[in-house]
Amino acid sequence: MKKMLFAALAAIVLCACSGEPDYLKVKGLSIGLPAKVFADSLLNRGFELDSAHSGAELKVFRHPGETAYSITMACQGDQIAAVEEDYYATYNDSTRALWQQLRDQFAEELGRNPGIPKRNDDHKIAEFETSEYKLVVTLDNHSVPFLSVLYEMKAQDK
């Protein structure tokens, strides 16, 4: 009888703990972290704050010597509202291949296929969405080959 009671309590505890949102990760960092901790972690990894393009609620990070990549963090207080990775390339085929690679990687990691509201050679969008987050991979090869990944947490009702 004690074992059954213990098993029932364990099941209740597991169910109660599973209500936490499953945060997305950028460069291995959870976007559920406080904004200051996330920013400090990027700085510790060698990124630099682009003060010319940053403000109180928007921070842009670049890695020295890497002009084709940046991370932008939008904050609401000390919480991260969204993070965007931007990739710039010199030719369209490189961004097309990267879009496909990222789309496949996220589909495997998240265990779901994306919605694809727009698909042609030079403009593709893949959207992964749950009740907790929205992840959008966008390819836009018009004047400059460009790819972005937007990680956005949805507001949680408490």
Residue 74: is its pLDDT beyond 80? yes
- Calpha distance 79→1 (Å, rounded): 46
Residue 16: is its pLDDT beyond 50? no
Q: Which domains does the chain have, with CATH numbers?
A: 2-153 (3.40.1000)
Contact (CB, 8 A) for 123 and 154: no
The mean pLDDT value for 52-63 works out to 91
Residue 47: is its pLDDT beyond 80? yes
- The length of the chain in residues reads 158
44 backbone dihedrals φ, ψ, rounded to 5°: -65, -20
- Which residue, 104, 105, 156, 100, is CA-closest to 130? 156
Bridge partners of residue 67, in order along the sequence:
none
Residue 56: is its pLDDT beyond 80? yes
Residue 4: is its pLDDT beyond 50? no
pLDDT at 22: 63
